[in-house]
Structures are given as C-alpha cells and as structure tokens.
A and B are shown apart, each in its own frame.
Chain A
Amino acid sequence: MNTLEVKDLVKTYTMGETTVTALKKINVSVKAGEFVAITGQSGSGKSTLMNLLGCLDIPTSGAYFIDGENVAHMRNDELATIRNKKIGFVFQKFHLLPDLTALDNVALPALYAGTNEAAAQMRAKEMLTMVELSDRIHHFPYQLSGGQQQRVAIARALINKPSILLADEPTGNLDSETGKTIIQLFKGLNEKQNVTIIMVTHEPEVAKHAQRTITLRDGRIVS
C-alpha cells in the first residue's frame, strides 16, 4: 500500500468570473520511505499541490489517500487531525511561533494531539536532541540563526511521528551552506529513520538529492 496516493486530482479557483484550473487531473503515488522532490516553475501548480497534499486545502475533485484513507472530502476538524497526526510541515519561512521557546514550539503539535504537557516536553527534548539543538531548547526563535530555526521546525514536524514530512522550499530562506546541512539532515532522516519526505523546490541543485523528481508544468505532471 502506498503511503500517499493521489487520483485525478483537480483544483480550480474562481476569481470573479474567470475560473483558473491550477491542477489538471494529477496522479501521484509515494511509497513509505521514499524521498520525492516536486519541482516546477512558479505558476506550475506545485504550491497548490503542496497545499492539497498537506490537507491545508480541499480539492475540487479527485481522491487523495493517506495510508489508504480518503481525505479528499473530510471536514475541517478531521483534516486538522490528519495534519496533526499524519503530516509534518517544514516551511520556507520556518513559521515558528515567535512567543514560544524552541521547546514549546516543538511540543505544540503533541499538545494539540492531546498528549499531556510533561510527556510532550519530554518528547520535544528528544526531537531537539536529534536535530542537535539540545543546547538551545529555551531559546526563542529570534535568538536562533536561520539554520537553527529550520532545524527546530523539522523537530516540530516530526514530533507526532507523521507518515509524511512535507517540506515547502525548505532551503529557500537559507544561504547555500546552511541549505546543504538541512538537505543532509533530510537525507539522514530518510535513510536512517525511514522518514517519507516530499519536498517542493524550484532549485534543481536541491531536487537532485531526492530519489525521484516529479516535475509540474501548467498544472500537469510532465515527468
């Protein structure tokens, strides 16, 4: 069984009287433990696909299975549960909550899952140790470098042991050296801990680290 399977996925946007079709019957499947890159130029539909894969948005038609469960027509709170338990997000702009320490940022998805605070913090510490930030757990995001912030975000994405790690331009806001260490971290997680990773990027340099690349153009998969 595929971890992720997308069948005939269509997403259209209505802006006033014009309808724009951002995704035209996309079919994708990703197996457990794969490291897949999604590339394409801006406007190719990769951000739309990313939002749909992350259950942040609802498709116009088609089916989307995560671990065999169709999530295409789920309601808001059910999608929230899927995002919480099955998907870990890593964003281009890190998206850490500025008022929370690294530890509290990482613990947050566990708290939303209903874990008690002590257990969530314990687990958050383990995750921060894994991304080599055990000496920064009480720092606030503004006290951390870009690379460190992104590693906190990765720790946060993995705390609930998701089926998929979704990374949206994870190196986009980092210098190339730091970007490389983040990609190495992804590769390590993928190879050693069998984490399934889907990474959206427009840089071929970054995409080549993935096992397989899906290229989008004008809302269709071209390769």
Chain B
Amino acid sequence: MNIILLLRVAIRTLNKHKTRSVLTTLGIIIGVTAIITVMSLGEGAKNKVKREIERLGSNFIIALSKPAKQKMMLGKKLFQQRTLDAILEECEGVNQASPAMIQNIVVTHDGTSHRTNAAGVEPEYFNITEWPILEGDYLNHGDIKSAKKVALIGLTVKRELFGNGDVIGKTIRIKNIPFKVIGVLGEKGTNPGGQDQDDTIFMPITTFQRKIAGVINKFQAILFSAKDKNEITKTALQISSVIRQQHRLKPGDEDDFTVFTQDDITQATDATFAILNLLLLAIASIALIVGGIGIMNIMLVSVTERTREIGIRMALGAKQHHILNQFLIEAIIICLLGGLIGLATGTGVSALICKAFSWPFFVSKLAVAISLISSIFIGIFFGYYPAYKASMLNPVDALAER
C-alpha cells in the first residue's frame, strides 16, 4: 500500500462524511486563524513602532536629567551648560548636540487657545531629528544668542490655531508673552510613546529658559547625534562618563541622569513585543490544542463506527501498520486542510485589522511555518491514539461487530 493510495482512501472516506470532516476541521481552522492573526498583528504593531523609532532621527543619543528609575518627567537636578560644553570638548564620537527643555503650556492666537508642548532647543535639534520644514525658516544661532521671541510650530498646532490661514509673521501668545511665528515644521507623526510630535511649539532654548522656565544655563535634556552609527554605544558611554565627572559622582554612586540610544529603544521595544507575542501565541495555541482534542474525539468515534471495516481489512491481510497509517493519514489530512484554510482566513483577518488600524501588514513566514507544522504535528499527536487503538483490534472481535 503506497502513500498515494492511502491518501486517496483517506480523502474518499473524509469526502463520504463531509459534515463531520468539516466540523472536525473547524477546530483546527480556528486555532490556525488565531495563531496567524496574532503573529501577523504582533509583527504589524512591532513594525509600526520600529518606524516611529526610526523617525526619531538616525544615530540618535539622548541624555535625560533624571535617574532611570525616576518616573517623573522632570528631574530636580537639571543639566548645566558647562556639562554640555565638556561633552562637546571631550567626546570625539559626538557629531551634533542640542539642549532641550519641554513644558506643557497653553498657546493663544486671536482668541483661540490650544494646550500643547513648548520646547526650547538649538538649531542642531532639527538636524539630529531630521525634521523637515514646510514653510518659513528654522531657528538660527542669532535667535539663540539674543533670545529672540520667535517660534517654529508643528502641523497640529498650526491646524488648531490657524486652520488653513497664513501663519508666517503672525503672533502667538504663551503665558501672555508674544512670539512671532517664523516657520512651520513638516509632519513627523507619533513617537513610540504614542504622542503626537507635531503638537509642539519650538523656540530658542535661551528664550525658553528665561521666559517659560525661569532658569539660566540649565536644561532637562540633551540630544546628540553620533558621527559613526557603529560607535553609538561607545559614544553614549563616553557621554555618561563625562556627565558623571561633571556631577562629581564617586565610583559606585548611581547615575543621577539617563543616557540612552536609538538601539536601546529598539531593543527595549523588541523585548516587550517578544514577550507580548509569546503570550498571545500561547493563548492562540490553546485554541489549536482544543481543536486537536476535537479531532481525537471524532477519530475515536470513527474507529468505533468502522470496527467491522477494520476487521475485514485485517482478515484480508492488512497489517497493524496498514490500519495505523490509514487512520493517522485521515487525521493528518483533516489537520493540514484545517491549517491551510486557517492560513487563508488568518491572513484575511489580519489584513483587515491592519488596514483598520493603518498598521503595516505582514504575514510572517515564521507564522506560516509554525501553523502548518503544528497542524501536522497536532494531526499526528491527536490522531495517533485512535489509530493505534484501531490497529490493535482483534480481528475476530472486530469482524463480529454488529
């Protein structure tokens, strides 16, 4: 009995009991659909976040003036200008740097008010973040030096305050202080934290310090770009060690600041998604296992129903492995069929969901491989016991059935 003949016999049998076969397959279809959907959506969400991380800029390093464990946005101890000067002097890997401060404020224009973030930066900020400009001009070093009351606004701010009207040269007020709008930034989208980056007003750091924060030569954060993509981690370590010197930390003292790179963010999100995916996969696998138990159940019924057929086949010379293979192949076909249908429906479902959330849509090859291999495995695992039971029947008893 070769395999093609066994396949034909199995397909004929399944075809004869169509309703039962379809219902049995359903369990596997649902399981595989769940696995494919979960894995594809996981992949889609991960790629969405990855894109957002890439949008932060390239070769990107950030230093925050708060320890890693502290949850508050603002550290009590801010960075000093001399710390930044020292970093620029000592760290060869740093290409550009910009100090940054940020605060939630209310901006008004012509009776319209809007709650948004004001950020104080230097011109290099826009190089580091690779942030394009839509109209008008970027900040320049002259604006910084003389602490001019000028502002660059994000697209969301423009929409909220001006709608479709002209923007350049208009005056907006923050804390009742007038600022002249000199430019509108291009669209940046959300950051990995889900915040709309276009909902920001940028002004010279010096202006921010004096008018908004009320400090001099201090700031919450510093952004850097590294000269060499491959030296990013090394550069981040150099920056850390200069800040430790400046903060007069002794060996063994914990950092009172945080430095991280784009790679760190990527790795952290990768780790988060890996855990999340594993969890979802585990839940989806339960569906598949339940489907497998359904198959075992039906195969056991099938063996009981076909006891006489098994007896006849044994009388005609079928060996145990002939009977075992016959039932095992039926179970595997059911599972593989369910796996293929589940693959199709899972792909469809995840395509729809990704479209609804406007996530990038991927069907991971891993998911396809996992679901097909696990279908076959489920077929063998849950089909084996009924098939074995069939093969161990005593020919006399089997023939006497009914």
Query: In the complex, which residues of chain B have a beta carbon less than 8 angstroms from the beta carbon of A114?
Result: 1
For the complex, is A212 an interface residue (Cβ under 8 Å from B)? no
Query: In the complex, which residues of chain B have a beta carbon less than 8 angstroms from the beta carbon of A184?
Result: none
Check if A109 sits within 8 Å of B316, measured CB to CB: yes
Check if B315 sits within 8 Å of A56, measured CB to CB: yes
A–B complex contacts, Cβ < 8 Å, 11 sampled: A56-B314, A56-B315, A80-B319, A80-B320, A83-B395, A84-B316, A91-B399, A97-B313, A99-B13, A109-B317, A117-B5
- Chain A interface size band reads 20 to 34
Listed residue (B16, B309, B319, B321) with the most chain A CB atoms within 10 angstroms of its CB? B319
CA distance A116 to B2 in the complex (A): 8
Q: Given known contacts A89-B315, A111-B5, A156-B316, is B395 in contact with A56 (CB within 8 Å)?
A: yes
Query: In the complex, which residues of chain A have a beta carbon less than 8 angstroms from the beta carbon of B320?
Result: 76-77, 80
For the complex, is B242 an interface residue (Cβ under 8 Å from A)? no
- Apart from the given pairs A81-B319, A83-B315, 4 other A-B contacts in the complex at a CB distance below 8 Å: A54-B315, A56-B314, A84-B317, A112-B318
For the complex, is B50 an interface residue (Cβ under 8 Å from A)? no
CA distance A97 to B210 in the complex (A): 95
For the complex, is B12 an interface residue (Cβ under 8 Å from A)? yes
Check if A95 sits within 8 Å of B13, measured CB to CB: no
A-B contact count (CB 8 A): 64
Query: Taking the nearest CB of chain B, how far is it from the CB of A56, in angstroms?
Result: 4
Within 8 A of A (CB), among B1-38: 1-2, 5, 12-13, 16
Within 8 A of B (CB), among A6-56: 51, 54, 56
Nearest B residue to A77 via CB reads B319
Query: Taking the nearest CB of chain B, how far is it from the CB of A177, in angstroms?
Result: 27
For the complex, is A85 an interface residue (Cβ under 8 Å from B)? yes
- Chain B interface size band reads 20 to 34
CA distance A96 to B399 in the complex (A): 12
For the complex, is A57 an interface residue (Cβ under 8 Å from B)? yes
CA distance A156 to B308 in the complex (A): 17
Query: Taking the nearest CB of chain B, how far is it from the CB of A154, in angstroms?
Result: 13
Check if A95 sits within 8 Å of B16, measured CB to CB: no
CA distance A76 to B317 in the complex (A): 10
Check if A108 sits within 8 Å of B316, measured CB to CB: yes
Listed residue (A76, A85, A116) with the most chain B CB atoms within 10 angstroms of its CB? A76
Check if B312 sits within 8 Å of A95, measured CB to CB: yes
Query: Taking the nearest CB of chain B, how far is it from the CB of A143, in angstroms?
Result: 16
